[in-house]
Amino acid sequence: MDQIVEAFTTGAGMLWKALWALIFGYIISAGIQVLVTREQMARILGERGPKEAGIGGFFGFISSSCSFAALAASRSVLVKGAHPMNSMAFLIASTNLVIELGIVLWVLLGWKFTLANFLLGILMIVYAYILTALWFPSGLVDEAKEHGEKAQKSEGMDMDHGMKGSFRNKLTSRKGWRRIAQAFFMEWKMVWKEILFGFTIAGFISVFVPQSFWNAIFLISDGGAQDSPGFLIVLENALVAPVVAFFTFIGSMGNVPLTAMLWSRDASFGGVVAFLGADLVAATVIWVHAKYYGWRYALYLSGLLYVCMVAAGVTVHYLFALLGMIPTERPSLQEMVRFAIDYTFFLNLAFLAAAAALLWLHFRGGGESTGGRNRQEHEPSRARA
């Protein structure tokens, strides 16, 4: 019984430590969704090229961070006419190059992990671009697009929070802030279960899974975790980390506490970094891709992303090693999540108040649905998972 209490306490402590960062990130995400419409994204992503892939990654960066929302968003961009490579860049960026994930990583593990995660996302896009240049089955892509169009029509279109007008008008109008409040509410509605599940699972794994298990699946050097691991160890860790993610069924934000847990359990830096991108090959994500595009394209896409995240994780490891930047401290989760009256306490109070104000604005406005109006006044609506 004491271990169960410790597991819940550890998970709750991690959530408390990261709560203000989560709220802050989703406020930013909601604001960006109102300022930029998905139709604007798709119009300029129709051709394959480094510039277009970069723009696709940028749009992913300013988009939603919920993994399942990102899946629906990338399908929407593809169906609207974007090149599949640009849709992939959007998908990778929208789950790795997102502000809230970077902030939470910084809070739990430090700025080096935030930088590593951003490099991971950029390198995954670069490797995906190279691999699709070598082999990209156009017939399979056409089949996936057709399947995606049918799936989208059968589901109907959900809402697009974007508005017409200048940034200033949107941010100084009551209507604009209601849209931001609505987008903020929808983000949390989609992701709260994933976040709670991720932090709870991390707490239970940290307490109930022994160190011997992690040493069995994540190889370490003979001198222990403090020694610099050899290439084969880094590669093995990067290969295994996404397999662990496959069985956890957790999305990008839920992966953050598990990342902290893996680092505290002596996995190599490259393996931990690869794990950060591995929400894209979780079992539930592969199943959703199959539902959207059919199994053939889903397996091709998942295999491609797996290779990219492993290669990117290994690359980030050695880039950091070259610069002498690989973190050396491995605090236990219990050390990371101590409750105290400190800056975290006051930041949480401040951002909980901001979240309450946005939720009050959303519900006071009746949670007005903008889906139908957006399709007529603004842009075609945005698909959501």
Question: Which runs of E-coded beta strand occur in the chain?
Answer: none
Quickly state the pLDDT bin for 274 (edges 50, 70, 90). very high
Report percent pLDDT > 90 for the chain.
22
Which pair of structure tokens corresponds to residue 162? 């974007």
Return d(Cα 314, Cα 330) in angstroms, integer: 19
In terms of average pLDDT, the best of 66-75, 154-163, 306-315 is 306-315
Round to the nearest angstrom and report the end-to-end CA distance of the chain: 37
Nearest to 34 by CA among 134, 138, 178: 178
Residue 43 has, within 13 A of its CA and on its CB side, a CA count of 7
Please determine, for residue 346, whether its predicted confidence score (pLDDT) is greater than 80.
yes
Structure tokens at 355: 């979240």
Give the separation between CA 112 and CA 104, rounded to whole angstroms.
Answer: 12
**For the purposes of burial, counting CB atoms within 10 Å of the CB of 140, is it exposed (0-12), middle (13-18) or buried (19 or more)?**
middle
Q: Average pLDDT in the 207-228 region? A: 73
Q: Is the pLDDT of residue 284 over 70?
A: yes
Tokens 């903008």: give the residue: 370
Mean pLDDT of the chain: 78
Distance of alpha carbon 81 from alpha carbon 89, whole angstroms: 14
SS3 (DSSP) at 342:
coil
With 50 as the cut, is the pLDDT of residue 20 above it? yes
The pair of three-digit structure tokens given for residue 315, joined into one six-digit string: 């690359």
Between 122 and 194, the more confident residue is 122
The arithmetic mean of pLDDT across residues 209-231, rounded, is 74
Q: Rounded CA gap, 95 and 115, in Å?
A: 15
State pLDDT tens for residues 127-175: 999 999 988 877 787 888 788 777 666 654 444 555 566 666 767 777 8
